Amino acid sequence: LCPEEAFVTLATCDSYAKGAMVLGQSLRDHHTTRKLVALLGPHVTEEAIKSIFDEVCVVNLIDSEDKANLALMKRPDLGVTFTKLHCWTLTQYSKCVFMDADTMVLSNIDELFEREELSAAPDPGWPDCFNSGVFVFKPSVETHEKLLTFCSENGSFDGGDQGVLNSYFDTWATADISKHLPFTYNLSSIAIYSYLPAFKQYGHNAKVVHFLGQVKPWNYSYDTQKGEVKGHSVSQQPGQLHPDYLLLWWQLYAKSVAPLLQKAYGNVPFHSGFVEVILYHSSTCTDHEQTSHPAAPAAPEPPKLSSEERKKRWEAGQIDYLGDDSFANIERKLDTFLK
Ligand SMILES: *[C@@H]1O[C@H](CO)[C@@H](O)[C@H](O)[C@H]1NC(C)=O
Ligand SMILES: *[C@@H]1O[C@H](CO)[C@@H](O)[C@H](O)[C@H]1NC(C)=O
Ligand SMILES: *[C@@H]1O[C@H](CO)[C@@H](O)[C@H](O)[C@H]1NC(C)=O
Ligand SMILES: [Mn+2]
């Protein structure tokens, strides 16, 4: 047993919390000997997560240590990224493996702890970058502070943690091949169709599935009676999640996660009704991942809304964080009250 090492994941909203629980349970089912740690955004309900994870850590950057808070004030758009970087402060562990909440393990992967910081698998979209969905790191207050400074000074080239981490650990592509994790740790469930020959060759060795892209397993529903995922077309199209892995995710969810949620919340649907306030970016509920699919053309500018219409939307929880309701505008408004 190695109590000083841990798998770490992050859930910034309730749907990612479901993903985190499936991931945690998949690690347990494959008999990991390491600790399981979940970092939660400030509005995520902790109750059920505690029964799978050894340690649950609520990250509220707004009233956190100065450095993280200052970084957030400077770059409110990178709120989720700063929350993820918080994993470097887990110095009670000597080494950790970070895994996105939209991943699931298919076998025991404890051997990853033999690797050094920063080990990760290449990104399918741009192989000179690593994919930040699974990586090995060494907690350190010093590294954390450097990452925060780096991030608030230089921003992120993709708007998320993958951009920041690739710029900071910029020798990954060339310096040390032992930091490149093999294909089987980065099997993206979309890419399987684009790489079908490779999948046929190596797929049986798959260790981690990463449900990359906009649509996540929790966007589907599941018929417990029939044991079928609903709303997933059987025809295999690129951009779709692999039906076998999607089914596996739901089977794990139905067997081990749903009963915990039922116990903690009864028949009330699992949703804490959280509305994120001011400092958090509208896309908290995402991991900003890049996929190899070309980006959709930018949406046309939405028409200007009347003040009345904006108020309605705000009250309905549709907050335009980047536009009219952005932090800068809210700050300006607050200033007029305070002066
Ligand atoms: C910003 O990026 C440059 C180039 O990668 C780097 O040299 C510099 O140290 C970074 N700034 C901070 C504050 O880390
Ligand atoms: C990581 O996954 C992508 C496809 O999902 C693949 O193209 C890439 O080669 C993989 N990395 C390695 C090291 O095999
Ligand atoms: C998937 O579900 C999440 C959380 O419920 C939601 O924010 C997101 O918009 C959904 N995505 C799609 C493509 O339906
Ligand atoms: Mn992801």
What digits encode the pLDDT tens for the residues 114-165? 999 999 888 767 778 888 989 999 999 999 999 999 999 999 998 899 999 9
What is the structure's pLDDT at 310?
Answer: 53
Asked whether the beta carbons of 124 and 188 are under 8 A apart, the reply is yes
pLDDT at residue 90 tops 50: yes
Ligand nearest to the CA of 123: 2
Identify the pLDDT of residue 269. 57
Q: Are strands 221-223 and 95-99 parallel, antiparallel or unpaired?
A: unpaired
Name residues contacting ligand 2 (CB within 6 A). Answer: 121-122, 124, 180, 182-183, 186, 188, 191, 195
pLDDT over threshold 70, residue 97: yes
Please report the pLDDT score of residue 43 as a whole number: 83
Instruction: Give residue 302's pLDDT.
Output: 45
Q: What is the architecture of the domain spanning 1-299?
A: Alpha-Beta Complex (3.90)
Whole-number pLDDT of residue 263:
87
Q: From atom 8 of ligand 1, which residue's Cα is the shortest distance away?
A: 150
Q: How large a percentage of the chain has pLDDT more than 90?
A: 40
CA of 202 relative to ligand 4 center, distance in Å: 21
Average pLDDT over residues 202-228: 83
- Gap from CA of 46 to ligand 2 centroid (Å): 34
pLDDT computed for residue 126 by the predictor: 76
Burial class (CB in 10 A: 0-12, 13-18, 19+), 46: middle
Helix (H, G, I), strand (E, B) or coil at 150: helix
Residue matched to tokens 């739901």:
250
Residue 149 in contact with ligand 1 by CB distance below 6 A: yes
330 lines ligand 3 (CB under 6 A): no
> What average pLDDT does range 169-186 have in this prediction?
82
- 310 vs 247: which has the higher pLDDT: 247
Residue range(s) occupied by CATH 3.90.550.10 in the chain: 1-299
264 lines ligand 3 (CB under 6 A): no
* Res 331 pLDDT > 90: no
Report pLDDT digits (tens) over 218-275. 988 899 899 998 876 555 555 567 788 889 999 999 999 999 988 888 766 554 433 3
Residue 292, pLDDT score: 42
**Looking at per-residue confidence, does 305 or 128 come out higher?**
128
Higher pLDDT, 219 or 282: 219
Q: Which atom of ligand 1 is nearest to the CA of 153?
A: 13
pLDDT value at 11 more than 50? yes
224: Cβ below 6 Å to ligand 1?
Answer: no
> Which atom of ligand 1 is found nearest the CA of 146?
14
Checking if the pLDDT of 71 tops 70, the result is: yes
Ligand 1 and 126: CB distance under 6 A = no
Residue nearest atom 12 in ligand 3 by C-alpha distance: 215
156 CB-side CA count, 13 A: 25
Enumerate residues 6+ apart whose C-beta is below 8 A from 79: 61, 72, 279, 280, 281, 284
Using CA atoms, how far apart are residues 134 and 119, in angstroms rounded to an integer? Answer: 9
Answer whether residue 281 shows pLDDT above 50. no
pLDDT value at 339 more than 60: no
Mean pLDDT of 67-75: 89
157 CB within 6 A, ligand 1: no
Q: Is the dihedral of CA 137, 139, 142, 144 positive or negative?
A: positive
Q: Which residues pair with 5 in a beta bridge?
A: 95
pLDDT in tens, 13-60: 989 999 999 999 999 999 999 999 999 998 888 889 999 999 999 998
| Residue-averaged pLDDT of the chain | 78
- pLDDT attached to residue 138: 97
pLDDT on residue 91: 97
Q: Which residue has the higher pLDDT, 184 or 277?
A: 184
Is this structure's pTM higher than 0.95? no
Ligand 4 geometric centre to CA of 178 (Å): 23
Q: Which ligand number lies closest to the CA of residue 153?
A: 1
